[in-house]
Amino acid sequence: MRASLAILFFSLLIVKNLAAQEMVYQPGEKVEYLIQYGFINGGLATLELKKDTCCGLNTTYHTRLTGATTGLADAIFQVRDVYECYMDPVSKLPIKSIRDISEGRYKKYNVVMFDRETRSDSAVLNSDLTGQHVVQYDIHDILSCFYWFRNNILPHQIGKMRIGDTVTINTWFTDEFFPIIMIYYGTEEIKTKAGKINCYKFGPVCEIGRLFRSKEAISFWFSADANYLPVKIRFEIIVGAFEVNMTNYEGLKYPLDIRNK
């Protein structure tokens, strides 16, 4: 009984502290990206966040990532991918996640519900495809983990981090437990359509195999300002490398620190 009360008290304390934190993003934020394979423009992607309702809650944060091939790439191998996540506005943990994949002939649609009411010490996940799973209480999905990284990790830890330091965020992705280990690689200036932006460079540890040549095959660049905005992503795979570069943005909470010279 004492243990249960202690867990309840600790959970309430965490929620209170999270609610008091200043957020680095806000509903209305929208970022557009161009997907390039060398000099070839292969597709477009959009990441946006807005207020919405979900699962009986009057207010949730609804984030949506869409990706689609264009031009010649679309004629060769059409891709229409959509990832969605509804997050609790206080804890920023996922409530509902949707994965809608259409890549050539491959199709996959799945909804996962995150239940944190049934058990006080863990979350119960209900997947349309694989049924029920019991996981740790603060599990993220693939979208909420990046908002968590921007809001709860970068503002508080980046000043103390050294090159090679890691941050682990436990997620539920493709219907399985998927820990993301982000390695810090330092700062780098990135040239964008808007201008030059100083960024923090991170990369998740990748599994070497049929797709990736090395454990450092993916790199992310987050703006080194108050937004910690994902500015660029680079994938190095067996058949070559492609990049996802920011082309437009709106609704940021803070002005983006851009150097035009």
Q: How far apart are CA 92 and CA 152, in angstroms?
A: 10
| Residues 6 or more apart whose Cβ sits within 8 Å of residue 54 | 60, 62, 86, 95, 96
- DSSP code of 52? E
| Residues 6 or more apart whose Cβ sits within 8 Å of residue 49 | 25, 26, 27, 28, 29, 30, 61, 62, 63, 147
pLDDT confidence of residue 213: 63
Residue carrying the six token digits 């000099």: 39
SS3 129: coil
pLDDT tens digits, 58-76: 999 999 999 999 998 899 8
pLDDT tens digits, 91-122: 999 999 999 999 999 999 999 999 999 998 99
pLDDT tens digits, 18-42: 444 589 999 999 999 999 987 788 8
**What domains sit in the chain, N to C, each tagged with a CATH number?**
20-250 (2.40.360)
SS3 track for 166-181: EEEEEEEECCEEEEEE
